[in-house]
């Protein structure tokens, strides 16, 4: 996969937005997409415009990355999901660390 000019590296995302919450895809598709993004915008959360994704046990996850822990906690309280440590975040199969 190639990066575009000016696009953040994954390591830069992890450094600048270290508080990360993973939502399963089913919690983030369809009308839920708008609900999630409306909450983020209306609450003024420090979400990175790019995120990560991974897959585990045939379930795809989108990782929402926040600069401030309190913002990530509010997001997780509203939508659930699991805390992800950038250092141990699962990777797509076939990718080396």
Q: Which domains does the chain have, with CATH numbers?
A: 11-84 (3.30.70)
Burial 34-66 (b: 16+ CB within 10 A, else e): eebeeebeeeebbbbeebbebeeeeeebbbbbb
Least confident span in 15-19, 49-53, 61-65, 80-84: 49-53
| Backbone dihedral angles phi then psi of residue 64, each to the nearest 5 degrees | -95, 125
- Residue-wise pLDDT for 38-74, tens only, equals 999 999 999 998 888 888 888 899 999 999 999 999 9
**Is the alpha carbon torsion for 59, 83, 54, 41 positive or negative?**
positive
Least confident span in 20-24, 76-80, 83-87: 83-87
Percent of the residues in the chain that have a pLDDT greater than 70, as a whole number = 86
């Amino acid at each position: 996969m190639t990066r575009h000019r000016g696009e953040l590296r994954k390591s830069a995302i992890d450094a600048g937005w270290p508080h990360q919450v993973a939502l399963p895809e089913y919690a983030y598709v369809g009308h839920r997409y708008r609900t999630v993004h409306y909450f983020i915008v209306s609450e003024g959360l420090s979400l990175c415009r790019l995120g990560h994704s991974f897959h585990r046990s045939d379930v795809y996850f989108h990782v929402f990355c926040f600069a401030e822990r309190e913002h990530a906690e509010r997001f997780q309280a509203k939508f659930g999901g699991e805390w992800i440590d950038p250092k141990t975040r699962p990777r797509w199969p076939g990718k080396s660390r």
